Amino acid sequence: MRFMVDMKVSIAGVELKNPVIAASGTLAFGEEYSQYMDVAALGAITLKALTKEKRLGNPPVRIAETASGVLNAVGLQNPGVDAFLEKQYSRVKRIDTVQIANIAGAAVEDYVYVTERLNDTEIALFEVNVSCPNVKHGGVNFGTDASILEHVVSEVKKVAKKPLIIKLTPNVTSIQEMARAAKNGGADALSLINTLTGMAIDPYTRKPIIKNTTGGLSGPAIKPVALRMVHEVYQAGLGLPIIGMGGIMTGEDAAEFMIAGADAVMVGTATMRNPAATIDIINELEQFAKTNDIGNITELTGTLQLED
Amino acid sequence: MKKHYSEKVLSNELIAQNTYLLKITCEDEFLKWFRPGQFVHIQIPAANELLLRRPISINYVDYEKRQVHIAYYVVGKGTRLLSQVRPGDILDVLMPLGNGFSITSSMQKIWLVGGGIGNAPLKSMFSKYMDREYKAFLGFRCEDAVYQEADFCEYAATCVTTDDGSYGGCGFCTDVLKEELAKDTPDVILACGPMPLFKTLASIVGDIPTQVSMEQHMGCGTGGCATCVCGIGGENKRVCLEGPVFDIKEVDALYG
Ligand SMILES: Cc1cc2nc3c(=O)[nH]c(=O)nc-3n(C[C@H](O)[C@H](O)[C@H](O)COP(=O)(O)OP(=O)(O)OC[C@H]3O[C@@H](n4cnc5c(N)ncnc54)[C@H](O)[C@@H]3O)c2cc1C
Ligand SMILES: Cc1cc2nc3c(=O)[nH]c(=O)nc-3n(C[C@H](O)[C@H](O)[C@H](O)COP(=O)(O)O)c2cc1C
Ligand code: FES
């Protein structure tokens, strides 16, 4: 049993107090959560997706509960990057921990625009959300075609003044191929997984529960898929830091992702169930390290035992 | 402001067809912030596979006994499991959430209009504003569905209607409201119920300030996930944070 654990980790040169990060889309811009927890105690917070133009998002119903999971179709509702900088950023900036922007778009130019607008802020890392339909390519997701993915990453990389985390979508045949494409485009780190496309039906009305028909599945239901993908990307040996996520509800879940190869983790759905879930997860992960005689949390990363 | 509590179940009883009244403990901190029209977001105990909490309006707050009451209708898995909790069980609740009704001292004459389980939040007005001149128009499906009529009668001139005429007046509560509006004008109308009730209200209230409590499927309940929106004045606003109470004139779905 250890008494002290060094919880610090580093992602693309940015030091985090601990490896637990609030995932994009479940903590808004972080401001609302100070009444539930000490937001500054998190390793980092990821802001919800920002786009060039303001987006109203999808019509409700936007959420459905499924077996051990949640399906959502928010549709990237946000005020647009300019309004965000003008009206909200001054308050968000005061949250005393590392901040990560989540950048989304419908065309490569949109990603470039948002990136340029955020360049001169104190936001430390840019997470590029490539799980978005590409309007110019018939709505195919940027993240599901290796050459399109590499292209959008390289264009954003040309202008970005902060390290880029590319957030991979799991709705692909080979996650390793997409991870390589992201690296070739200039990624500084990878985060995975975004939500799995799914749907839910009410058999009595014969209608989809979500107005948008399909939505993104998250929560414990996707954890096995997420772990497998983090493992595969780690095995690809690209040398990029990995941020793992998908259904993390406890410190043990977080430890599993680190063992599979993650340097840090993100937590989304758990925050919907319990607004202070991220704090509990930090404490549980620290306790896990203590009882397993781990002095430095980075020692956990990639320690999966494949031999007997 | 603390909003996340573990509270003890005091009672959980059937009060009408499929309708339960749950009483739980509360702390001074909650009492300090509570406003009528707010809601609680309850984690369903012993149901880890039900990831989401369930939003339920606050029905009444008893300041003396330090209790929060909620009245709920059993519709699915979550509310069915909730109906099985017993005195002594501990519930994980977020409360009080949402904006609540906006009540000013100039609002003396207050009319309450509710349909079915939507009558529940209206009673919360009597937790704080006992001295107003109330009229209540409460609609139910049938006699077996009627609950808390006596509680309303204590503070309000109360008129109950049932859709099938099995109890009280026959028809919708808005029919009676319309007749009363021809004779008298309240300072404010507070309403909660299904969309058709709001639609009728929108067509009869004219310029009378009217506040409606909206429902939407929710995730966090705390403003983080933006899943619970309702079209308000051309914007998608979060029912859990900017609502659940909105000015009827701003609800896009009711006009245009
Ligand atoms: C602000 C607010 C106040 C409410 N107050 C009351 C109240 O005082 N009494 C009462 O009986 N009910 C109230 N409701 C509705 C109540 O939340 C639902 O009946 C309940 O969530 C159903 O859960 P279930 O698991 O039994 O049903 P299921 O249909 O199995 O639920 C599946 C999912 O859909 C959601 N859902 C289903 N119906 C609704 C609905 N009408 N509104 C929001 N989410 C829904 C559930 O929360 C759950 O996530 C309120 C809703 C809101 C938003
Ligand atoms: C309501 C909701 C909104 C989300 N919004 C975004 C978003 O704006 N950008 C993004 O990259 N991911 C978004 N996600 C995906 C999460 O960040 C995360 O990748 C996914 O939910 C898996 O993690 P979890 O199981 O811990 O939630 C959202 C997820 C949910 C549930
Ligand atoms: S339920 Fe999450 S923002 Fe309202």
| Subunit contact A77:B2, Cβ cutoff 8 A | no
Return the bridge partners of A216, or none. A72, A197
**A261-279 average pLDDT score:** 97
Q: Show the low-confidence residues of chain B (pLDDT under 70).
A: 47
Residue A114 pLDDT more than 80? yes
Give the structural domain span for B24: 4-97
Report the CATH number at residue B42: 2.40.30.10
Q: B224, exposed or middle or buried, with CB in 10 Å at 0-12, 13-18, 19+?
A: buried
Contact status, residue B163 vs residue B115, Cβ threshold 8 Å: no
- When pLDDT is cut at 50, 70 and 90, the band that residue A134 belongs to is confident
B235 and chain A in contact, CB less than 8 A: yes
How remote is the CA of residue A104 from the centroid of ligand 2, in Å? 13
**B144 token code pair:** 């077996």
What is the percent of chain A where pLDDT is above 70? 99
Average pLDDT over chain A reads 95
Assess whether pLDDT exceeds 90 at residue A308.
no
**Each residue's pLDDT tens digit, B192-232:** 999 999 999 999 999 999 999 999 999 999 999 999 999 99
What whole-number distance in Å separates Cα of residue B239 and Cα of residue B227?
Answer: 9
pLDDT of residue B42: 98
Based on the structure, what is the number of domains in chain B? 3
Q: Answer yes or no: is pLDDT of A294 > 80.
A: yes
Cβ of A63 within 8 Å of Cβ of B228? The answer is: yes
Where do the structural domains in chain A lie, given as residue ranges? 9-57+73-200+217-300
Nearest CA in chain B to A274: B220
Same domain, B207 and B223: no
pLDDT at position A138: 73
Element (H, E) at B109: strand B109-115
Q: Is the pLDDT at A139 greater than 80, yes or no? A: no
CATH of the domain at B239: 2.10.240
Q: Are residues B15 and B73 in the same domain?
A: yes
On whether the CB atoms of residues A296 and A6 are closer than 8 A, the answer is yes
Catalytic residues of A: 132
pLDDT, residue A214, reads 94
Choose one of A62, A63, A65, A210 to mutate for the ligand 1 pocket test, by most ligand atoms within 8 angstroms of C-beta: A65
Please tell me the residue having the least CA distance from ligand 2 atom 6.
Answer: A25
Q: What average pLDDT does this structure show over A277-281?
A: 98
* Structure tokens belonging to residue A12: 């693309």
CATH 3.20.20.80 matches A9-57+73-200+217-300: no
Q: Ligand 2 center to residue A80 CA distance, Å?
A: 18
The whole-angstrom separation of Cα A117 and Cα A121 is: 8
Helix (H) or strand (E) holding A164: strand A164-167
pLDDT at position B45 is 87
**pLDDT band (50, 70, 90) for residue A1:** low
Are residues B169 and B138 part of one domain?
yes
Rounded CA separation A172/B33 (Å): 48
What CATH number did the domain enclosing B207 receive?
3.40.50.80
Average pLDDT over residues A269-274: 96
Q: Which pLDDT score, from 0 to 100, does residue A31 have?
A: 85
Counting Cβ atoms within 10 Å, is residue A305 exposed (0-12), middle (13-18) or buried (19+)? exposed
* Beta pairing, strands B39-42 & B54-57: antiparallel
- The answer to whether B245 touches B99, Cβ cutoff 8 Å, is yes
In angstroms, the CA B253 to CA B251 distance is 6
B233 touches chain A (CB under 8 A): no
B69 with B129, same domain: the answer is no
Q: What is the predicted pLDDT for the residue at A2? A: 66
Cβ–Cβ of A65/B4 closer than 8 Å? Answer: no
For a mutational test of ligand 2's pocket, the pick from A20, A21, A24, i.e. the residue with the most ligand atoms closer than 8 A to its C-beta, is A24
Q: Which pLDDT does position A32 carry in this prediction?
A: 86
* Residues 6 or more apart whose Cβ sits within 8 Å of residue B172: B115, B139, B161, B163, B197, B200
CB-based contact A3:A290 (threshold 8 Å): yes
- Is the CB of B81 inside 8 Å of chain A's CB atoms? no
Boundary of a domain, candidates B97, B127, B161: B97
pTM: 0.96
Question: B218 and B193 in one domain?
Answer: no
Residue nearest to atom 28 of ligand 1 (CA): B76
Task: Kindly state whether B6 is in contact with chain A, defined as any CB-CB distance less than 8 angstroms.
Answer: no
Alpha-carbon gap, residue B78 to B44, rounded angstroms: 6
Residue B52 distance to chain A (closest CA, Å)? 6
The Cα B79–Cα B67 span in angstroms is 20
Q: Which of B56, B214, B237, B241 to mutate to test the pocket of ligand 3 (most atoms within 8 A of CB)?
A: B241
- Same domain for B93 and B19: yes
Contact B52 A68 (CB under 8 A): no
Nearest CA to CA, how far is A51 from chain B (Å)?
16
Cα–Cα distance, B138 to A220 (Å, whole number): 42
CB environment A193-232: b (16+ within 10 A), e (fewer): bbbbbbbbeeeeeeebbbebeebbbbbbbbbebbbebbbb
Q: Give me the torsion for CA of B200, B204, B208, B213, rounded to 10°.
A: 0
Amino acid code (one letter) for B27: E
Residues A212-258: tens digit of each pLDDT: 999 999 999 999 999 999 999 999 999 999 999 999 999 999 999 99
- The closest alpha carbon to B187, from B156, B211, B203, belongs to B211
Q: ipTM of the assembly?
A: 0.94
Instruction: Say how many Å lie between the CA of residue A216 and the centre of ligand 2.
Output: 8
Asked if B79 is an interface residue toward chain A (Cβ–Cβ < 8 A), one would say: no
Kindly give the distance from the C-alpha atom of residue A29 to the centroid of ligand 2, in angstroms, as a whole number. 13
Q: Is the CB of B181 under 6 A from ligand 1?
A: no
pLDDT the model gives residue A140: 79
Q: Is B228 on the interface with A (CB under 8 A)?
A: yes
A145 CB-side CA count, 13 A:
13
Terminal-to-terminal C-alpha distance of chain A: 25
pLDDT in tens, B18-40: 999 999 999 999 999 999 999 99
DSSP calls for A222-244: GHHHHHHHHHHHHHTT----EEE
Report the percent of chain A where pLDDT is more than 90. 92
Q: Do B8 and B66 sit in the same domain of this protein?
A: yes
In this structure, are residues A156 and A103 in contact, taking their beta carbons and an 8 Å threshold? yes
Residue A136, both tokens = 């110019």
For residue B158, give Cα distances in angstroms to B60, B112, B151, B179: 17, 9, 10, 14
